[in-house]
Amino acid sequence: MNIIIVDNNQEVGSTTGEMILEKVRQNPNTILGLATGSSPISTYEYVVNKTEQENIDWSNVITFNLDEYKGLAPEHDQSYRYFMNEKLFDKINIKKENTFVPSGLIDTDEEANKYDDLIASKGGIDLQLLGIGTNGHIGFNEPGTSFDSITSIVDLTKSTIEANARFFASEADVPTQAISMGLNSIMQAKEIVLIAIGANKAEAIYELARGKFSPEWPCTILQNHPNVTLVLDQEAASKLQ
């Protein structure tokens, strides 16, 4: 596991953004796994700015997002499809039909499972971007999730709902379920980059890097992946030093 510690959020964004852009420069047909939430915003801002400066071509890139809230249509302003369009896709020359986000309107795990088949049919993910929850979740795979899990409908913990309430009018408006790539789904990526910003992520990062391999900290599954890089600000890395 490669650990890169930088000073602040902006440097997390530039470091991670450069890793993503290098994939696109090297392979115009690269397949990226993408994440949402507050952590990757600085990364996407860097990617957008550099793409404009260097005229980087995204027209043949394919992307798959980790997750989506169950019950939210793509047009809902708190859906992850809306987030990705606003933060990235609308600002680069990627084809929308090449950008995949799990549907929040599916009702069965059988429907959700097809997302893994779709990823496999495109050739698998070359680089997967991850954030991490304070409880160690990656995607929306909460503590106790099976390490064998694939894309499915999942229940969100109270702590995750509370953490995401800041994006909604009230906590009552936060969906209680999501469609999420499973832990086994995430592990199929050829390379993984996980970003963490802030002191509230420090415990989860410690468990990921130094803790016991356990479903109680879903992130620890990454200890078994051959190509993982953590990009951390000083606060997120504080318990490692």
Which of 9, 65, 67, 116 does the annotation list as catalytic? Answer: 67
Q: Which residues contact 115 (CB under 8 A, 6 or more apart)?
A: 64, 100, 102, 151, 179, 181, 185
Residue 218 to residues 69, 153, 208, Cα–Cα distance (Å) = 19, 16, 9
Q: Which two tokens stand for residue 106?
A: 């599916």
Q: Which residues contact 216 (CB under 8 A, 6 or more apart)?
A: 136, 143, 144
Is residue 76 part of the annotated active site? The answer reads no
Which of 68, 142, 207, 233 does the annotation list as catalytic? Answer: 142
Is residue 173 part of the annotated active site? The answer reads no
Given a contact cutoff of 8 angstroms between Cβ atoms, the answer to whether 197 and 233 are in contact is: yes
Is residue 137 part of the annotated active site? The answer reads yes
Q: Which residues contact 174 (CB under 8 A, 6 or more apart)?
A: 156, 161, 164, 165, 167, 168
Is residue 126 part of the annotated active site? The answer reads no
Which of 9, 65, 116, 135 does the annotation list as catalytic? Answer: 135
- Give 229: exposed, middle or buried? Use CB within 10 Å, 0-12, 13-18, 19+: middle
Which of 137, 164, 207, 233 does the annotation list as catalytic? Answer: 137
Active-site annotation, residues? 67, 135, 137, 142
